[in-house]
Chains A and B, each alone.
Chain A
Amino acid sequence: MTLFLQQLFNAAALGGVYALVALGLTLVYGVMRVPNFAHGGLYMLGAYFTFAGLTRLGWPYLLSLLVAALLVAAIAALMERFIFYPLRDAPHVQPMIAAIGVLFFMEAAIAHPRVFGPEFQTMPSPINTIVNVGGVTVTGQRLLVIAASVLVVFGLNYFLKRTLTGATIEAMSQNRQGARLVGIDTNRVGMLTFAISGALAAVAAALIAPINLVSPSMGEVMNLKVFAIIILGGMGSVPGAIVGAFLLAFAETFGGAYISTDFADVIGFAVLVLVLALKPQGLFRRSA
């Protein structure tokens, strides 16, 4: 029972991080209809920027996190402007390949010996309190991850549903032409969505990095997982991404604990293969 509760707690923290990364990806897909393969790269950059802020500049954790989020948001917006926007009418294969090129460039840039180098690095944890609740070890960092991801998800929901700018994103993902007809500046919304997705990925990375290690290839693994999540949840669906994120986190954590840790990273794909074989549209089919 203790092991079960411990896993439950860990899975909740992991699910929160997955949800943040997957939300950005699904928003971008909803608005631009393009799977951004470079999303994992943005996540990785977020981790390294936070890492640099903490260790090289000696900034406090929160400041590093915010600066990283802003920087990554700016990079994502530029990416939209210079790559995805010009390719918006090209066959989908083209922006996908371009995004792959960006991902590889980002990884190579970070892994370059003069930048950070290819090796794994540990990020110092800002919160070191450990609480023991009935045999369950609750680390401060994981609590922070859960609290912050819940906060961000609710904030995002408020933004999308209750503010005018947020509603434009929702409108554009429902119907691009319709959105333009009612006077929405679709260019601005495209950039904004990319910026938000970048910021979400960076925040997620900054939150989880003190628990895991940072490495230039961390984005690749995350990429696959969040893509599995948004396919599971239905591409472009916001609630689908959140549910998918927690499903994957639970499957991985419990699969890793009770079956084999070697294959924890691919359990998500086993689930995905199963779901796609049964329901090719994902669990939450988006009503178009």
Chain B
Amino acid sequence: MKRVSWGWAALLVVAALLPLLRPSGYLLDIGVNIMIFAMVAYGMNVLLGYTGQLPLAHAGFFAIGAYTVGILTLKAGWSFWLAWPAAVLLCAALGLLLGLVAFRTRGDVFAIFTLGVGVIIMLVINKWDSLTGGNEGLNGVNPPAGLEAFAQALGLKLSAGFYYLALVSLVLTVVAVARARGSTFGLSLIAIRGGEDLARSAGINVYAHKLRAMMFSTAIAGFAGGVYAVYIGFLGSAAASPAQTFTILLYLLVGGLGTLAGPLLGTALMYGLTQALQGLEDYRFLIFGPLLVVLVMFAPQGLVGLWLRERARRAVRAQGRAQAQEVNRA
């Protein structure tokens, strides 16, 4: 096993043991939120980090996933375990529809177009009273069946059950993204990021690959939305707002675009910071806005990117030293 995989395994063990240490409910809540939003960041990373397309409708898909679970469980009486996959499928299907139109455009226009779609999603959720509850939102989404029993079997509270639900979802997401990244599909996406025309000339079907990346990405957003719906229990259209998309974009940028650890690291750091700065609610975007600017100007590769670069530089230096020694010996 590579060193990186050991790091992930160690992190997973620590995260899995955390609820057994009986931390405060507040700490668990922060943990669940970080894991949920990290998933959305992973979804966004597939498109922005790997494929090089800036999608600005992700909060919309997150909300569609959440509302699908909310509506199916509350109004149609479905079980969460059925409604959740349905939400993921719906988000993938809608992602395909969006991609079919949006990927006819390139680069700049794509970003603007998806931003518009994000706003439309929010408005539709906000105005479609009979389905989504409009301004008042959806209240009282129940916890998934069996989650409380599971938590009790471990001798823990329901909140710990949610923690494990989010953890398992996050692990599934990271594994899925890592596998996709390592596959021919992932390499093709990176080739597209490098240059669409070049990728096309290498025999990659750019349009089809972008569509698949979009579906994968929106499906992850919907997957995270499903967990969010049952965890929060209340849904409002603010979950779909562009501000939410930009917040997740910030998490992703801080962590590192196109890296596997970036989305999780960035979300944990920035969400934690936001919680610590709770008293400064009025100043939040006064700090976040310039932070976005500074990041793209001076550290567009994010924290993980900086670390990788530093490691690469050290490797090059070590190699250089080894070569120099060889030359000396000869």
The smallest beta-carbon distance between B257 and chain A, in angstroms, is: 8
Q: Is the CB of A93 within 8 A of B52?
A: yes
Q: Is the CB of A83 within 8 A of B297?
A: yes
Q: Is the CB of A272 within 8 A of B104?
A: no
Docked CA distance A94–B300 (Å): 8
Docked CA distance A50–B49 (Å): 41
Q: Is the CB of A224 within 8 A of B119?
A: yes
Within 8 A of B (CB), among A228-275: 228, 231, 235, 262-263, 265-266, 269, 272-273
Docked CA distance A41–B204 (Å): 39
Smallest CB-CB separation from A268: which chain B residue? B116
Q: Is A87 on the interface with B (CB-CB < 8 A)?
A: yes
Q: Name the one of A35, A90, A101, A228 contacting B300, with C-beta atoms under 8 angstroms.
A: A90
Within 8 A of A (CB), among B20-74: 48, 52, 54
| Secondary structure class of chain A's binding surface, majority of residues | helix
Q: Is the CB of B292 within 8 A of A98?
A: yes
Smallest CB-CB separation from A272: which chain B residue? B116
For chain B, the count of residues having a C-beta within 8 Å of the partner chain is 39
| Secondary structure class of chain B's binding surface, majority of residues | helix
What A residues does B48 contact at CB under 8 A?
93
Q: Is the CB of A227 within 8 A of B112?
A: yes
Docked CA distance A83–B104 (Å): 29
Docked CA distance A34–B107 (Å): 10
Q: Is the CB of B52 within 8 A of A91?
A: yes
Q: Name the one of A102, A263, A276 contacting B101, with C-beta atoms under 8 angstroms.
A: A276
Q: Is the CB of A280 within 8 A of B104?
A: yes
What B residues does A96 contact at CB under 8 A?
54, 108, 111
Docked CA distance A93–B110 (Å): 11
Q: Name the one of A101, A228, A272, A273 contacting B289, with C-beta atoms under 8 angstroms.
A: A101
Docked CA distance A96–B253 (Å): 13
Docked CA distance A96–B107 (Å): 10
Q: Is the CB of B293 within 8 A of A101?
A: yes
Q: Is the CB of B249 within 8 A of A100?
A: yes
Q: Name the one of B52, B108, B115, B290 contacting A105, with C-beta atoms under 8 angstroms.
A: B290
Q: Is the CB of B104 within 8 A of A87?
A: no
Docked CA distance A224–B56 (Å): 12
Within 8 A of A (CB), among B214-253: 242-243, 246, 249, 253
Q: Is the CB of B285 within 8 A of A86?
A: no
Binds B, one of A65-73, A107-115, A165-173, A197-205: A107-115
Q: Is A3 on the interface with B (CB-CB < 8 A)?
A: no
What A residues does B6 contact at CB under 8 A?
none
Task: Decide: A265 near B123, CB < 8 A? Known: A101-B292, A224-B115.
Answer: yes
5 pairs of A and B residues whose beta carbons are closest in the complex: A105-B289, A101-B292, A108-B285, A280-B104, A104-B289
26 A-B pairs within 8 Å (CB atoms) are namely A35-B112, A94-B296, A96-B108, A97-B292, A98-B292, A98-B293, A100-B246, A101-B288, A101-B291, A102-B289, A104-B243, A105-B290, A105-B293, A108-B283, A108-B285, A224-B115, A231-B109, A231-B112, A231-B113, A266-B123, A269-B116, A272-B113, A273-B101, A276-B101, A276-B105, A276-B109
